[in-house]
Structure 1
Amino acid sequence: MTHRAYDVPMAGGPLKLGRTPLVMGILNVTPDSFSDGGDFSALDAALAHAEDLAAEGADIIDIGGESTRPGSDEVSVQDELDRVMPVLDALAERGFEAPISIDTYKALVADQAVQAGAKIINDVQGLQRDPEIADVAAHHSTPIIAMHWDTERDTARDLIDEMKRWLSRSVDIALKAGIARDAIILDPGFGFAKSFAENYELLNRLDELHALGFPLLVGTSRKRMIGNLLDVPPKERVSGTIATSVLGYLKGGHIFRVHDVRANRDALRVAAATLYGPPQLEG
């Protein structure tokens, strides 16, 4: 399919989404994330990993201070700030160039992070847990990613129809708060309140979500939908993740949130060259 083009307004210049897939590198500064919990919770390790992700070609770095793995405990606003703010401040001091998104559903964390230099807010609760986060995004003219996570969905109804209905509420919250329509990105929320089979149905029908009229972020990296299928632990799910990223791109996805940047970036470049032709190379 042909990718829809979007110019998402962002501090420092618009985020151009379309035929060229963008890769968002994951930086979890948490002790308990499902794949890399504790690996980058120390400041030096977090900073080094941010630099590694950028060197591998990440277009965006997504920093999160609270795990959303099944069974994880919620953390307080202060604990989340204590985890993410030193990293944001240190990256700003270094003149880190890749745009940073803050992975949070808490309005206060989002506000502090944007003031410290984050350029995108990534809310896994789709603005429906703490609606004031939409006010923060509107106040700072910050693009927002609204993810689908509907724990009360009627599973007897069509999956995509229910997702469209829930995500439309997220869009309404954003627009009523004053967020520009072109500053909204949607994430279908692979792995969140969806069964094993539903995740693969979603991947197969991802293109149906374009009817909502917003760019799509695909986040399947190392998730249980891959691990259960292949019977491998999180850090051995790279190949499976690449397959889902490429399939998501072929269904019109724009941004791919991954742990393994270089591998996914390379695969997506091949997929883009196949769909639209390779770039002209010198020599």
Structure 2
Amino acid sequence: MTIDIQALIEKRPHLKDPLELYAKWQRFHHEAAELLAKTGSAVSPADTKAYPRECAGPVFQLFVSIFNLPGEELAPLALALENGEISFMQLPLDEVPDLPSLPYSKEELAGILFLLSRPYFLALRQTFPLDGSPWENGRCPLCSAQAALTSIIEGPKRNLHCSFCGTSGPYRFIGCPNCGSIDAAKLNTIISEDEPGFRVVTCDECHTYVKAMENTVLKEMTFDLADMASLPLDLVAQGKGFARMAPNPISLKRMG
């Protein structure tokens, strides 16, 4: 990879704020991984719901510190994590735990939990590597998330990429991964001259979209940065009434 966050900010100054938020998440991911390693905690078959209980509290405190969140306000979430009452594996299924004592909407809580849980999902991918496995029914073979991103490779072929755990795997080149439609009349492409190497594939059957990235883009930046760099295309697609089915790296599904 040749482009980092600062270089991308200089290249796309209109994305400075979201990219700086993503930089905070990168710091959280790095320090959370170090914390797990330091405490000897690792995601194992016995801990496939959330962070191991012995480090759930420290990881949570790290999270609220880096993102400058109100720790006391979020105390019920911390307690639920420490008691093993939260299953991160529900999140890719668009299921949010019921925590009525928190002053957040379901959408806001889903965003917080996505940012908090993602280091867990990335560790899960390291423990159970399934890259290259087919995405049956358009869902991630590891965590069952729907796709928001796809890469175009020689063939032509395409791989779907998971926004939660980062697992990538093949899916048929023609067809909507969200509803399975192969009706060419209902599958369309949005291309912007301002975003070379990116395009949006929309489905009129289920009114969703995925963003497609060419290999030339992914040679320069990670999937996360490519997703952030192409945020304007999300705005275009959603402005036309299409929905994104998985969050971007800063937890957003709905833009604007």
**TM-score (norm: length of structure 1):** 0.31
**TM-score (norm: length of structure 2):** 0.33
